[in-house]
Structure 1
Amino acid sequence: MRLPSRYSLFPFLLWWPTVTRRTLGTDLLVGLSGAILALPQSIAYALIAGLPAEYGLYAAIVPVIIACLWGSSWHLIGGPTAAISIVLFTSVSPMARPGSEEFVALVLVLTFLAGLFQWLLGLLRFGNLVNFVSPSVVLGFTLGAALVIALGQLPNLLGLQVDSQRTAVATLINLAQHLEEADWHAVLVALFTLLVSLACRRLWPRLPALLIGVVAGSLLVAVLPGFFEGITLVDAFEGTLPPFTALDFEVNSLLQLLPAAIACGMLGLVTSLSIARSLAAKSQQLLDANQEVRAQGLSNLIGPWFSGSLSAGSFTRSALNLQGGATSPLAGVFSAVLVAAFAVFCAPLIAHIALPSMAAAILLICWGLADMPGVRALLRVSRSEFVVMLLTLLATLVLELQTAIYAGVLASLFFYLKRTSQPRFKYTGDGDEELLRLEGSIFFGACHYVQQVLQLSRGERVVVDARHINFIDYAGVEMLHHEARRLQTQNRQLVIRHARPHVIEEIQKLEGSTCPVQFED
């Protein structure tokens, strides 16, 4: 059933009538919690991406509002994420100096391209295309990205000034060469931040541990200015709402950014839809994947015009929405509005944040990204998928991250095609009849294997039990006709038994009434 056009253009009209004064109050409180969680994370993700701190806040405002209002999920809330931030950094840093105006401009153009790709997928109703990025690829990429991010933050934690590198291995080698230059004052600030954050998580789990840790570490530097004189602080910025930014669509830059934009777009969609489906299963909500894809694309199409870098679903903030009892996407809207209020009125406070404290907070975020129970479960369930996860993980360490995503997808498709190209056969012999029960479809990739099995059969009547064949393509039809004629020259028969009507129809199309294949119910 198609929805009226007004609901297609403005999907928030579907849930808007359910909003009451009570639900508004609940969503406002949940939004406040989400904003408190978003503040340190957004600033940290901006630094990971090589952007000035304020751009992390900008990415948590306009893109979040659009994704919440035009999305399908009640609880999904987006913004900058760790994995996407590191992909942005590795994709754009070879083209411009991180933090520079040119770098920011390129990141915003890349965001627009990724959003356009996402929106087109949703418009063409190809939302399920993201299913080709398997969970094992996402798991391996996330684990690898956590290691890459952690390595990238070690210079800030150690008080080092070193050039950024394109791969994790290169970063590690470069770091080892400058390790003797480390500033133990910076290490002390980072350790203090870690201890406060961990203690807060342990003793008061409901409080924003990251924010408290960063504030404590920064206060330590402020209280003892003589002892921590050389500690680097986050760059200050003028408190404003997200400024309008004109994008520069220079052809050469577009061509250079396009592969990374597609990789970022796919990664963002996989992350967002995985979180949305998980939350929908818990809240018993019916999710429209294509609408959610369009909403994510729209948020990244419009976001960069308001200085917002690429955003995607955030698991921690979305889970907080669900656990806090959010009744509508307005909780996400309130969260974005409160982040905007902080960007306007509290911007001077950011200039007092110690960079080693922020690096320590990012390390804790990286630790949270490492899903070791998921890795162990994957090893128990599927060795081939575990290999895909390992290959993706290794690719993130030795290749650029956007290339690692493609490598993981190709590895996953390789194992999938390997399984489907060798469908299972069960053999049963009954006198002159040899029964082959095929468990799988017959398509071009499986034709050679199925043909080999048929050629090894020795019965007078070679019967293929086809009840489990859901699909057969032209190559499969041609192969069956060829084998049927070969058996006819040997006074033998090829019989297809219990085939579905559409499979019989496809097989008979090639030669009509002269089809050499016999059929039985």
Structure 2
Amino acid sequence: MHRPDLITLLPFLAWLPRQNRASVGQDLLVGLTGAILALPQSIAYALIAGLPAEYGLYAAIVPVIVACLWGSSWHLIGGPTAAISIVLFTSVSPLAAPGSADYVGLVLLLTFLAGLFQWLLGLLRFGALVNFVSHSVILGFTLGAAVVIALGQVPNLFGLDLPSQATALQSLLALGGHLREIHWPSLLVALVALAVALLVRRLLPRWPALLLGILAGGALVAALPQWMSGVPLVSAFEGRLPPFSPLQFDLDTLLRLLPAAVACGMLGLVTSLSIARALAGRSQQMLNANLEVRGQGLSNMVGAWFSASLSAGSFTRSALNQQAGAHSPLAGVFSALWVALFTLFGARLIEHIPLPAMAASILLICWGLVDIHGVRALWRVSRSEFLVMSLTFAATLLLELQTAIYAGVLASLFFYLKRTSRPRVQQWREGEDDVLRLEGSIFFGACPYLQHRLQRCEGARVIVEAQQVNFIDYAGVEMLHQEARRLLGQNRSLTLRQARPQVVEELLKLEGPEHCPVLFET
């Protein structure tokens, strides 16, 4: 038996000793399946982030191992994601040329800062803070990110060499001025890759559609060298394990990257915890949210020193991991090790991948981000949440992506506060008494509305049925005392009926039980 403090430090000791030869063998095969899916995605996400292709593979190795061993979820697998990659690009590209050594250094520093933010949230048990980023914000951001990513890949699809733009609108305007310069062989390669991937998805859904589409595009270029000589290819790199990358901590740079790091950290946590909770519900697992937050943060803090850009949970890879029958987080560890083997021995294959074929696979990834069912459900259930989603989507297209996240969170909080500031009140007469049944908390935001409702009552007694009031703050206590004294001056009274003990206790604290103007009734 391991000591509790040792398991807290090394949480994988809670499940690793329970594994046997059969479960390890199964996880090894599941990890291979996940690695096959991760290879094309990781390269694509590196290109989205403005990084050399190998950095996508690096991000699928060390962070994945650390997150699986130090996290809580049995099936969550992380790595680079589309949304985070585009946020990294828009955050760092104004500071350095994409793909340059300075650019890579800034991305890794931002990754470390985001991981440190995540780890501190978990250490302080503030993991629940990510709940303030509502589903509507994530939905709107994801839709916007899909459009931004797709527009950013259209130049590669058409064989155009265009400078990157800060927003989707600028990208669209820049693209419009160069449509006559389309390189038709590049477009043909992209269409072939897209058609093959779609066909495989339709006929053989368990096969790696993206990988086969990319291979088809590469085969077309290799088969017709004279016609396809101008098709751009992914830059070659030397096959090696993730190299150690010392970080440069400069105060001015840290301050410039900090807002983007917080936004990326929050986005990564919301994505990872949402996926982990969904998978835990299917597998009947008790998820430790704070442990998972610490694991995600530690994975990015450590990964940044090993050339890994920011990683988060991947729904596609995690769902595949669970459906393929993974027994433990070892499946994620094995997936990372399979990717490491490819990085070491298969790197020369990457230089034969056409950029238009990669662009086509990225477009398919973007289409997978579009949740039409979720948008329709949001419209039917809550128009205010639909408005938050729409505002976040518009902000994503018009502003830098980290700013769009903040805008969506603020919009979501605004509607939440507006809703809670007007708690539900039912009112009726009992003889000469006015009775109000209150459903909600009595806090500073709701005090003006509740005070207005109390002042409209004309009965000899004003009775508040408070059995559904869970919380009252100082502003609420002060307001009820003020209204009770006003009614006493008119030979009337304010009575709380069936109030919870914690509410009564707070009301009696202000002036003591003997001087409290509010009456209580069971």
- For the criterion TM > 0.5, the same-fold answer is yes
Q: Which residue of 1 aligns with 2:429?
A: 429
1:304-329: CA deviations, max 9, x gaps?
Answer: 11000000000000001100000000
User: Between the two proteins, what is the percent identity of the paired residues?
Assistant: 71
Residue in 1 that maps onto 2:275: 275
The CA deviation at 1:250 is 1.2
Matched AA of 2:352: H
CA offset at residue 183 of structure 1? 1.1
Count of paired positions:
520
TM score, norm. by length of structure 1: 0.99
- Partner of residue 343, structure 1: 343
User: Displacement, 1:383?
Assistant: 1.0
2:520 maps to 1:515? no
Distance 1:181 1:146 in 2: 25
Deviation at 1:218, TM superposition (A): 1.0
Q: Which residues of structure 1 form unaligned runs of 5+? A: none
Q: Which residue of 2 aligns with 1:6?
A: 6
SS, match of residue 282 in structure 1? helix
Quick check: 374-383 or 232-241, which moved more? 374-383
Deviation at 1:511, TM superposition (A): 1.0
Give the match for residue 186 of structure 2: 186
Matched residue, 2:110 = 110
Aligned counterpart, 1:308: 308
- Residues 307-386 of structure 1 mapped to structure 2, 5 A cutoff: 307-386=307-386
TM-score, structure 2 length as denominator?
A: 0.99
Give 1:3 shift.
Answer: 7.5
- Residue aligning to 1:469: 469
- Following superposition of structure 1 onto structure 2, how do residues 232-247 of structure 1 map, counting pairs within 5 Å? 232-247=232-247
Partner amino acid, structure 1, of 2:139: L
In the alignment, residue 376 of structure 1 is paired with which amino acid? R
Alignment of 1:103-182 (within 5 A): 103-182=103-182
> Which residue does the alignment assign to 1:416?
416
CA distance in 2, matches of 1:286, 1:470: 27
Distance 1:411 1:334 in 2: 41
Q: Which amino acid aligns with 1:477?
A: V
- Of the structure 1 ranges 221-230 and 350-359, higher mean CA displacement relative to structure 2 is found in 221-230
**TM superposition shift of 1:203:** 1.1
What is the CA distance between 1:170 and its match in structure 2? 0.8
What is the correspondence of 1:371-410 to structure 2 with a 5 Å cutoff? 371-410=371-410
CA distance in 2, matches of 1:399, 1:181: 28
Task: Give the equivalent residue in structure 2 for 1:487.
Answer: 487
CA distance in 2 between partners of 1:441 and 1:219 (Å): 64
Q: SS at 1:306's partner residue?
A: coil
Partner of 2:251: 251
Q: 1:3 to 1:182 in 2, by over 3 A?
A: farther
Q: Secondary structure at the match of 1:50?
A: coil
- Secondary structure (helix, strand or coil) at the match of 2:467 reads coil
- Structure 1 residue matching 2:469: 3-state secondary structure: coil
Residue 17 of structure 1, CA deviation:
1.7
Letter in 2 for 1:496: L
CA displacement at 1:278 relative to structure 2: 0.2
Secondary structure, aligned partner of 2:436: strand
Distance in 2 (alpha carbons) for counterparts of 1:496 and 1:337: 63
Q: Name the residue aligned to 1:207.
A: 207
Does 1:264 find its partner at 2:284?
no
Matches of 1:129 and 1:286 in 2, distance apart?
19
> Which whole-Å deviations, capped at 9, do the CAs of 1:322-364 have from their partners, x for residues lacking one?
0000000000000000000000100000000000000000000
Secondary structure of 1:162's aligned partner? coil
Q: Distance in 2 between matches of 1:421 and 1:180?
A: 55
- 1:378 CA drift (Å): 1.0
Partner of 1:224: 224
Which residue pairs with 1:41 in the alignment? 41
Q: Which amino acid aligns with 1:514?
A: H
Which residue pairs with 1:93 in the alignment?
A: 93
Partner of 2:497: 497
Q: Which residue identity is paired with 1:508?
A: L
CA distance in 2, matches of 1:515, 1:250: 57
Per the TM alignment, residue 379 of structure 1 is displaced from its structure 2 partner at its CA by 1.1
Taking the aligned partners of 1:109 and 1:368, their CA distance within structure 2 comes to 30
SS at match of 2:125: coil
CA distance in 2 between partners of 1:430 and 1:267 (Å): 52
Partner Cα separation in structure 1 for residue 134 and residue 470 of structure 2? 22
Deviations 1:117-140 (A, max 9, x none): 000000001111100001111111
CA distance in 2, matches of 1:115, 1:386: 31
Q: Equivalents in 2 of 1:365, 1:201: separation in Å? A: 12
State the AA in 2 paired with 1:126.
F
Gaps of 5+ in 2: none
| Cα distance in 2 between the residues matched to 1:276 and 1:246 | 31
The answer to which of 156-165 and 41-50 deviates more is 156-165
* Distance in structure 2 (CA, Å) of the matches to 1:508 and 1:252: 51
Distance 2:421 2:87 in 1: 34
Q: Tell me which amino acid in the other structure corresponds to 2:389.
A: M
- Matches of residues 58-77 of structure 1 in structure 2 within 5 Å? 58-77=58-77
The letter for the 2-side match of 1:314 is S
Question: Hey, what's the Cα distance between the residues in 2 that align with 1:475 and 1:286?
Answer: 38
1:464 is paired with a residue whose SS is: strand
Counterpart residue type for residue 454 of structure 1 = L
The aligned amino acid for 2:115 is G
CA distance in structure 2 between the partners assigned to 1:402 and 1:103 by the alignment: 18
Shift of 1:181: 1.3
Alpha-carbon shift at residue 180 of structure 1 (Å) = 1.4
Letter in 1 for 2:178: H
User: CA-atom RMSD, angstroms?
Assistant: 0.9
SS class of match (2:305): helix
2:291 is paired with a residue whose SS is helix
Other-structure match for 2:31: 31
Deviations 1:176-213 (A, max 9, x none): 11111111111111111100000111111111000000
Render the CA deviation track for 1:34-76: whole Å, top value 9, x for unaligned: 0000000000000000000000000000000000001100100
